[in-house]
């Protein structure tokens, strides 16, 4: 467990977390560090597409002023917020701006927003001229600890979430914690679902910080909050550095996501990602318990922590057939067999392949309301 002195010492510093492997990059965490975006773009990028949601229009204009020097042209692309922006029509709008401005392979894209915006910006960068430079500047908790880190990019279709996408690593990720201070409490708590996931599959210290003082751990101004964010990023950076294209270890990051994505689809992407994943994690924990892998106490710990964050832990009983059909189309399914990340214990994730339908149904009954 990290002591308070260690937490306080990191308050004013910029933390650099490196993603290793081919095409590795740095993730910077700190306060007032948007100047690092300019360094990450490099001198070759003379045109930059700055993708942002409507709510960040003023901040995007400020960032443009910061970056528009030495003749660099910075074009703003305002896109719909949240899942409404993760559509091929929105990607085409970005491609149109780049085409009309004659973007070349040495130019760049910046994703400035939450997870949906960074997913979209990454996909646009990966597909324009088969790949241009990308810098991610996440402005939400979810974006900082998950969506902007790891190089997975994508858009949604009518058939499911992120079924169309590409692996495309950024040049850098700049996580400026000052950008979080205007977020609503609900937005912060929903983003914490991914941090909790990191706690259950990798870093139990996160769970201890939340159990010790949930208010302090979820307040963007505290060292406990920063510690939770950095632990979650460190986990993802290590996993992605070892397995960029999800051939092995990276699959553990899908904990809670198989059912979570199905719930998002059932709710037509009107739910926050974190709310759906919270239910998905309780389902995965129940599946682990019913398979004889996980203790009752560990399952209850899931419920207690997620409910302390006011996140949902149940879903209507009658929705199971629809959810099962959606999961069977999920990109995590292989050779027609469903795959779930389950736990043998806290921080001991493993894969369960093709569980029996009766076991899945029994686990769902445990979360049904």
What is the per-residue pLDDT across 13-64, written as a single tens digit (0 to 9) for each? 999 999 998 779 999 999 999 999 999 999 999 999 999 999 999 999 999 9
Active site residue 194: yes
Work out the average pLDDT over 115-122.
94
pLDDT tens by residue, 276-333: 999 999 999 999 999 999 999 999 999 999 999 999 999 999 999 999 999 988 756 6
Instruction: Determine whether 181 is an active site residue.
Output: no
Which of 69, 130, 268, 270 is an active site residue? 130
pLDDT-derived band at 200 (thresholds 50, 70, 90) equals very high
Q: DSSP string covering 52-96, please?
A: E-GGGHHHHHHHHHHH--TT-EEEEEE--SGGGGSSHHHHHHHHH
72 tagged catalytic: no
Catalytic residue (one of 254, 302, 303, 339): 254
Is 307 part of the annotated catalytic residue set?
A: no
250 is catalytic: yes
Q: Which carries the bigger pLDDT value, residue 301 or residue 152?
A: 301
Identified catalytic residue from 246, 265, 289, 302? 246
Using CA atoms, how far apart are residues 240 and 75, in angstroms rounded to an integer?
Answer: 31
List C-alpha distances in Å: 349 to 18, 106, 118, 169: 23, 40, 27, 25
- Mean pLDDT score, 243-251: 80
Which is catalytic among the residues 236, 265, 302, 303? 236
Give the CA radius of gyration of the chain.
20
| Statement: residue 334 has pLDDT above 70 | no
273 an active-site residue? Answer: yes
- Residue 238 annotated as catalytic: no
Catalytic residue chosen out of the listed positions 86, 194, 264, 286: 194
DSSP symbols for 116-170: HHHHHHHHHHHHGGG--EEEEEE-SHHIIIIITSSSEEEEEETTEEEEEEEE---
Q: How many residues does the chain have?
A: 369
Q: Is 246 a catalytic residue?
A: yes
**Annotated catalytic residue, options 261, 265, 272, 303:** 261
Note if 52 is an active site residue. Answer: no
Q: Which of 161, 273, 289, 301 is catalytic?
A: 273
Per-residue pLDDT reduced to its tens digit, 252-271: 999 999 999 999 999 988 89
Task: Provide the pLDDT confidence category of residue 223 given band limits of 50, 70 and 90.
Answer: very high
Catalytic residue among 64, 152, 227, 339: 152
**Please, which residues bridge with residue 78 across strands?**
52
Instruction: Work out the average pLDDT over 111-134.
Output: 96
Long-range contact list for 245-250, CB < 8 A, 24+ apart? 245/167, 250/150
Share of the chain above pLDDT 90, in %: 81
pTM, 2 dp: 0.92
Whether 348 is a known active-site residue: answer no
Whether the predicted pLDDT of 94 surpasses 80:
yes
Q: Write down the catalytic residue from 250, 301, 303, 339.
A: 250
Q: Which domains does the chain have, with CATH numbers?
A: 4-180 (3.40.50.1970), 255-369 (1.20.1090.10)
Flag whether pLDDT at 3 surpasses 70.
no
CA–CA dist 282, 289 (Å, integer): 10
């Amino acid at each position: 467990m990290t002591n308070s002195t260690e937490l306080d010492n990191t308050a004013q510093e910029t933390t650099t977390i490196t993603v290793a492997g081919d095409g590795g990059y740095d993730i910077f965490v700190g306060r007032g560090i948007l100047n690092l975006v300019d360094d990450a773009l490099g001198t070759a990028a003379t045109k930059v597409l700055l993708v942002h949601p409507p709510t960040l229009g003023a901040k995007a204009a400020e960032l443009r002023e910061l970056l528009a020097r030495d003749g660099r042209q910075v074009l703003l692309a305002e896109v719909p917020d949240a899942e409404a922006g993760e559509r091929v029509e929105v990607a085409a709008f970005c491609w149109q701006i780049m085409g009309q401005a004659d973007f070349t392979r040495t130019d760049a894209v910046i994703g400035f927003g939450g997870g949906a915006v960074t997913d979209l910006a990454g996909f646009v960068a990966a597909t324009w001229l088969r790949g241009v430079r990308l810098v991610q500047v996440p402005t939400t908790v979810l974006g900082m600890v998950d969506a902007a880190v790891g190089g997975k990019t994508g858009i949604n279709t009518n058939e499911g979430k992120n079924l169309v996408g590409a692996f495309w690593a950024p040049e850098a990720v700049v996580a400026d914690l000052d950008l979080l201070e205007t977020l609503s409490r609900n937005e912060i708590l929903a983003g914490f679902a991914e941090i909790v996931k990191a706690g259950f599959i990798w870093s139990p210290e996160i769970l201890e910080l939340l159990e010790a003082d949930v208010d302090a751990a979820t307040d963007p101004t505290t060292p406990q909050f920063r510690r939770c964010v950095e632990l979650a990023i460190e986990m993802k950076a290590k996993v992605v550095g070892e397995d960029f294209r999800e051939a092995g270890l990276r699959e553990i990051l899908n904990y809670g996501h198989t059912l979570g994505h199905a719930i998002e689809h059932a709710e037509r992407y009107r739910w926050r990602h974190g709310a759906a994943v919270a239910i998905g994690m309780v389902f995965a924990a129940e599946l682990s318990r019913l398979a004889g892998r996980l203790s009752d106490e560990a399952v209850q710990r899931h419920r207690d922590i997620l409910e302390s964050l006011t996140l949902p832990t149940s879903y209507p009983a009658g929705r199971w057939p629809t959810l099962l059909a959606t999961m069977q189309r999920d990109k995590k399914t292989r050779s027609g067999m469903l795959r779930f990340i389950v736990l043998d214990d806290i921080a001991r994730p493993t894969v369960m392949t093709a569980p029996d339908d009766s076991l899945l149904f029994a686990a769902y009954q445990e979360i049904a309301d």
